[in-house]
Amino acid sequence: MPQTRTSGDLGFRIGTGLFGFVVIAIVGMIAFELTRQSLPTIQKFGLNFWRTQTWDPIAGQFGALPFIWGTLYSSILALAIAAPIALGIAVFIAELCPGRIQRPLVFLTELLAAIPSIVYGLWGVFVLVPAVRALETSMPEVLRRLPIFSGPARGVGMLSAALILAIMVVPFTSSVAREVLKSVPNTQREGAYALGATRLEAIRAALFYARTGILGAVMLGFGRALGETMAVTMVIGNDPNVTASLFAPQYTMAAVLANEFSEAADPLHLSALVEIGLVLFTITLIVNLLSRLLIWSMARSARGPAVATATQAAAA
């Protein structure tokens, strides 16, 4: 009965299409609602909201720059620490690891992702922060003069936040990168070996083949770092500051939302907090778009035959 078959197909298509549309509708509604509720501060401060540094709910003065800075700085630092580690784990598990310890390793990295962030935060307060403080106090005076190590050694601050974020990001990035590496066809590695590549060179060929997927894995980790709230607010010091110093207390957008939202009774303060949400939403959107663009341009330049990629990597 070809008739019913097509109508079934059509129903399925409409059904799944609707679900797909729900996602778009939700994103659209979030953007609409955030904009609507932050209208008072958008009208009052305009672009100054993005570029001024005073956050004073009592005086009704709101500038989000320290929070934007803190969010981007902590996430980029976390990524710089986490990406190499996560890639190392992924390569080891996917390419080099003996079968027997592969399963426990996969299980353990995935367990890290399942720990609630409040637990990371508590561990951060009681273990990481004292350790960071000890590191800061033992740092030689010469280095302390550098702007990135300036300020008193308190333990809480940007460095602790970046470290805890890095630990939280590693399992996400490494899991996805591992799956991407596993999906690289074996012909890639065999081709490399056939051309006389060493093991390292063959792995490099596989990494090169999988590079768009790996970049996607890194961006997934970045997204996670941007939005992380609880663990960060417990160790970052929560002081709005625009400074490059790793030892200085700073603040992030997600943290100020969590901290001030429940007690904000003044309409302008509330509107400013909602606009922080809108800024975070916009920045996440921009980051995602940029990574899409990057992946897309990489995919375009990688259209050559598979063997060529392998040779390229082997020759490099």
Tell me the CA end-to-end span of the chain in Å, nearest whole number.
58
Nearer to other proteins, 157 or 277 (CB): 157
To other proteins, the closest distance from the beta carbon of 260 in angstroms equals 5
- Selected range binding other proteins among 20-28, 92-100, 101-109, 259-267, rule: CB under 8 A: 259-267
Nearer to other proteins, 37 or 109 (CB): 37
State yes or no: residue 129 binds other proteins (CB under 8 A): yes
State yes or no: residue 178 binds other proteins (CB under 8 A): no
In the chain the beta strands, taken as DSSP E runs, fall at 55-56, 61-62
Tell me the CB-side half-sphere exposure of residue 166, using CA atoms within 13 A.
Answer: 21
State yes or no: residue 190 binds other proteins (CB under 8 A): no
> DSSP string of 260-305?
HGGG--SHHHHHHHHHHHHHHHHHHHHHHHHHHHHHHHHHHHT-S-
State yes or no: residue 253 binds other proteins (CB under 8 A): no
Q: Which of residues 211-250 bind other proteins (CB under 8 A)?
A: 233-234, 237-239, 249
**Dihedral sign computed on CA atoms, order 281, 285, 288, 294:** negative
Out of 117, 133, 136, 226, name the contact with other proteins by CB under 8 A. 133
Q: In 10 A of CB 97, how many CB atoms?
A: 15
To other proteins, the closest distance from the beta carbon of 71 in angstroms equals 15
Out of 49, 55, 73, 247, name the contact with other proteins by CB under 8 A. 55
Three-point CA angle 306, 308, 311, nearest 5°: 115
Name the burial class of residue 290, with classes exposed (0-12), middle (13-18) and buried (19+) by CB atoms within 10 angstroms of its CB.
exposed
State yes or no: residue 52 binds other proteins (CB under 8 A): no
CA distance 70 to 250: 6
CA distance 120 to 308: 45
- Selected range binding other proteins among 90-98, 152-160, 169-177, 276-284, rule: CB under 8 A: 152-160
Bridge partners, residue 237, by sequence: 250
Nearer to other proteins, 14 or 265 (CB): 265
Nearer to other proteins, 216 or 237 (CB): 237
Q: In 10 A of CB 315, how many CB atoms?
A: 9
State yes or no: residue 54 binds other proteins (CB under 8 A): yes
To other proteins, the closest distance from the beta carbon of 75 in angstroms equals 19
Out of 82, 269, 274, 279, name the contact with other proteins by CB under 8 A. 269
What is the maximum span of the chain, computed from C-alpha positions, in angstroms?
83
To other proteins, the closest distance from the beta carbon of 172 in angstroms equals 24
Nearer to other proteins, 79 or 234 (CB): 234
CA distance 89 to 181: 11
State yes or no: residue 138 binds other proteins (CB under 8 A): no
Q: Which of 103, 82, 95 is nearest to 207 (CA)?
A: 95
State yes or no: residue 68 binds other proteins (CB under 8 A): no
- Per CB under 8 A, residues contacting other proteins are 54-59, 61, 125-126, 129-130, 133, 152, 154-157, 233-234, 237-239, 249, 251, 255, 258-265, 269-270
